[in-house]
Structure 1
Amino acid sequence: MDSQNSKSKKGKRNTREGKENIASKGTVLRYFQEHIPHFLFTAKITTLTLFLIYIGIPIFVRSNPWIMPRVVFANLLRWPPFVNLSSPADFGLVNARHFFLDVEDDVRIGAWHVLPKSMHEERGLVPLDSFEKELKNGKKVFLYLHGNSGTRGSHHRVQLYKLLASLDFHVITIDYRGYGDSSGTPSEEGVVKDSYFIYKWLKQRIGDTKIFLWGHSLGTGVTTKLAKILCNEGDHPAGIVLESPFNNMIDAATHHPFSLPFRMLPWFDWIFLKSLGEQGIYFKSDESILSVTPHIMILHAEDDLIVPFDLGQKLYLKAKATRTAYTKNVEFVAFKGDLGYGHKLIYQAPEMGDIVRQFIQKCENSD
Structure 2
Amino acid sequence: MSSQSAQPAAKMRHRIRLRKMSDLATKVCAFIPLMLIVLYIFIVFMSTLTRVQREFLFLHRLRIPTWKKFHSPEYYGLAPFKTRNFKLETPDGETLGTWHVLPQGVYVEQEPFPPRERLPDTIFDDAFGQRPTIIYFHGNAATRAQPHRVRGYMEMSGRLNCNVVAVDYRGFADSSGKPSQEGVIIDARTTYDWVAKKIKTAGADPATNIILCGHSLGTGVTSALAERLAAEGTFPRAIILIAPFSSVIDLVDSFYLFGFFPVFHPLKAVPRIKEYIRSSWADPFESKHSLLTTSSPMLLLHTLNDGVIPSTHSETLFNVMLNRSGAQNKPHVEETNYEGWGTLKVAYPNGLPLIKWEGKHGGHNDLGWAEGTFDLMAWVADL
The reply to whether TM is greater than 0.5 is: yes
CA distance in 2 between counterparts of 1:58 and 1:359 reads: 41
* Deviation for aligned residue 1:286: 1.0
Counterpart for residue 21 of structure 1: none
Structure 2 CA distance for partners of 1:44 and 1:76, relative to 1, 3 Å? farther
Counterpart for residue 190 of structure 1: 183
Contact 1:295/1:329 (CA < 8 Å) preserved in 2?
yes
Counterpart for residue 333 of structure 1: 357
Unaligned runs of 5+ in 2: 1-11, 330-348
The counterpart of 2:290, out of the listed 288, 297, 305, is 288
Counterpart for residue 366 of structure 2: 345
CA distance in 2 between counterparts of 1:46 and 1:271 reads: 28
Counterpart for residue 338 of structure 2: none
CA distance in 2 between counterparts of 1:271 and 1:40 reads: 37
1:216 aligned onto 2:215: yes
* Deviation for aligned residue 1:297: 0.7
Counterpart for residue 235 of structure 1: 234
Q: Deviations over 1:261-296 (max 9, x none)?
A: 3431356625642320xx2x1211111111110111
Structure 2 CA distance for partners of 1:170 and 1:37, relative to 1, 3 Å? farther
Counterpart for residue 206 of structure 1: 199
Q: CA RMSD in A?
A: 2.8
Counterpart for residue 297 of structure 1: 299
- Greater share of residues in helix: 1
Contact 2:240/2:377 (CA < 8 Å) preserved in 1?
no
Counterpart for residue 74 of structure 2: 89
The counterpart of 2:165, out of the listed 168, 172, 185, is 172
Contact 2:97/2:167 (CA < 8 Å) preserved in 1?
yes
- Runs of at least 4 residues off by over 6 Å: none
Q: Between Structure 1 and Structure 2, whose CA radius of gyration is higher?
A: 1
CA distance in 2 between counterparts of 1:204 and 1:96 reads: 19
How many corresponding residue pairs? 330
Q: Deviations over 1:146-167 (max 9, x none)?
A: 1111111112111111110112
Moved more, 95-104 or 112-121: 112-121
2:90 is paired with a residue whose SS is: strand
2:301 is paired with a residue whose SS is: strand
Aligned ranges for residues 24-173 of structure 1 at < 5 Å? 32-33=18-19, 35-36=21-22, 39=25, 43=29, 46=32, 50-51=36-37, 53-62=39-48, 64-94=49-79, 95-123=82-110, 124=113, 125=115, 127-167=119-159, 168-173=161-166
TM-score by length of 1: 0.81
Moved more, 131-140 or 173-182: 131-140
- Supply the AA of the counterpart residue of 2:146: S
Unaligned runs of 5+ in 1: 1-25
Q: Deviations over 1:177-206 (max 9, x none)?
A: 111111111111111111011101111111
Contact 2:102/2:157 (CA < 8 Å) preserved in 1?
yes
Contact 1:240/1:297 (CA < 8 Å) preserved in 2?
yes
Counterpart for residue 257 of structure 1: 256
